[in-house]
Amino acid sequence: MKKVPLFVAAALLTACIAEQEQDTARCTLEAKNRGLNFQWGSAGERSIRFGSEAGEHIVLCMAAAGYRFVITDPRCDAISPIPFAQQPFCYVPMSWPGYWKFRIEREFLP
């Protein structure tokens, strides 16, 4: 009987991360369709937040979708060739229920 609630919780949390990945992909595609510049900042640094037009658009689009940009999650990979703004794990849900779902998923699911 205890396995059923755990399975349901895992399914709900997986849906939360899947939504976050879909929103990031949607915002990235929207930036590409608008023809925004994906180049890094003038000094060649990685686009953490507003280093490129596309990065700025993606962060603002994700904010409109209910996510806050943060780089504290270990899965927000600094070594990856993908800029931070395009990585789904570099965002945290702004709503309290979404935030706590995210925290639980981060702690207990791989």
Taking a C-beta distance cutoff of 8 angstroms, is the pair 68, 91 a contact?
yes
Nearest alpha-carbon partner for 59 in 49, 45, 70, 73: 49
Q: What are the sequence ranges of the domains in the chain?
A: 3-108
Task: Give me the pLDDT at residue 20, please.
Answer: 87
Is the per-residue pLDDT at 4 higher than 60?
Answer: no
Most confident of 68-72, 73-77, 104-108: 68-72
Q: Which residues pair with 69 in a beta bridge?
A: 91
Question: What is the per-residue pLDDT across 6-61, written as a single tens digit (0 to 9) for each?
Answer: 555 554 444 567 888 999 999 999 999 998 887 765 444 444 445 678 888 999 99
CB distance 69 to 49 below 8 Å = yes
Is the predicted pLDDT of residue 62 greater than 80, yes or no?
yes
Angstrom CA distances, 24 to 28, 30, 58, 70, 73, stand at 6, 10, 7, 14, 16
List beta partners, residue 68: 92
pLDDT, tens digit (0-9, with 9 covering 90-100), for 79-103: 777 788 888 888 888 887 777 776 6
The whole-model pTM stands at 0.70
Task: Please tell me the predicted confidence (pLDDT) of residue 99.
Answer: 72
State phi, psi for 14 to the nearest 5 degrees. -65, -40
Confidence (pLDDT) at 49: 47
